[in-house]
């Protein structure tokens, strides 16, 4: 496995070697503006995130809860284009040297063109894509182009996934496996719960890929809990909420940085 995904693999391996889970932050491109979104990704890295997922805002999100939908709406009303997403990846990666993924629904890639999207993402320094709504059995075209450009393909598994299905999904993916901790949409939760732990256990039985848990983690205590059984802890809505609730962009960036630092402590306490 060469190319940009190698940085992702190395980052996850480095966290494991340190005896801890990786901290993965999610922030949508173009929110609050394209420039502000780039600064937010940098702030998450500065605070202690190992990896950042840059969201490609979509008008019909199936996985995103109200907080991320609000941010996506702001980005789309601001005229966000895929070229702005690529710029976000490029500038954040160049400034930090760290792995940046794109999380996107399939339709925008399909319309844009798979070869065009994968070549531009690789050229921007992107490590790969998380594709929450692309069924593995329909992913051959994407994977062919992603492999050609050295990009990782991260698939999402859910508590409802049967063991046989998990094996099919994990065999097709690279980088890591995104374990959705519960059924439903993104958003912060009171508790991440035992469903996630069971899903990680079942997923790990099918693959050597790291298994990272998202959907619901919002504070250091939850990050610590998830880090005790997962290879990575994915946090999105809590970061976006810091930006939404802030009185201005500077305060929002400070909030993102502070939350990343808290969560980074949490993942280090988890193992």
| Residues with catalytic function | 53, 64
Please report the DSSP string for the chain in residue order.
--TTHHHHHHHHHHHHHTTSPEEEEEEETTSS-HHHHHHHHHHHHHHT-SEEEEE---SS-SS--HHHHHHHHHHHHTT--HHHHHHHHHHHHHHH---EEEE--HHHHHHH-HHHHHHHHHHTT--EEE-TT--GGG-HHHHHHHHHTT-EEE-EE-TT--HHHHHHHHHH--S-EEEESSSS-----S--HHHHHHHHHHHHTT-SS-EEEESS--SHHHHHHHHTT-SEEEE-HHHHHHHHHSSSHHHHHHHHHHHHHHHHHHHHHH-
């Amino acid at each position: 496995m060469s190319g940009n995904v190698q940085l992702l693999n190395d980052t996850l391996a480095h966290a494991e070697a340190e005896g801890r889970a990786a901290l993965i932050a999610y922030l949508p491109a173009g929110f609050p503006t394209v420039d502000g979104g780039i600064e937010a990704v940098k702030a998450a890295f500065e605070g202690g995130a190992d990896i950042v997922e840059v969201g490609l805002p979509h008008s019909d999100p199936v996985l995103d809860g109200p907080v991320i939908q609000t941010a996506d709406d702001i980005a789309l009303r601001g005229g966000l284009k895929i070229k702005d997403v690529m710029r976000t990846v490029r500038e954040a990666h160049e400034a930090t040297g760290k792995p940046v993924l794109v999380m996107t629904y399939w339709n925008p890639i399909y319309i844009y063109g798979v070869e065009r999207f994968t070549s531009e993402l690789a050229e921007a320094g992107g490590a790969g894509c998380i594709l929450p709504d692309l069924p593995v059995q329909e992913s051959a075209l994407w994977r062919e182009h992603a492999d050609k450009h050295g990009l990782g393909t991260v698939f999402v598994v859910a508590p409802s996934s049967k063991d046989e299905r998990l094996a099919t999904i994990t065999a097709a993916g690279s980088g890591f496996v995104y374990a959705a901790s519960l059924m439903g949409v993104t958003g912060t939760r009171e508790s991440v719960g035992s469903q996630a732990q069971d899903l990680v256990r079942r997923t790990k039985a099918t693959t050597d890929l790291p298994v990272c848990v998202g959907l619901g983690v919002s504070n250091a205590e939850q990050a610590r809990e998830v880090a005790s059984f997962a290879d990575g802890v994915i946090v999105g809505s809590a970061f976006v909420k810091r930006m939404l609730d802030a009185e201005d962009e500077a305060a929002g960036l400070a909030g993102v940085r502070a939350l990343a630092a808290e969560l980074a402590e949490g993942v280090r306490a988890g193992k």
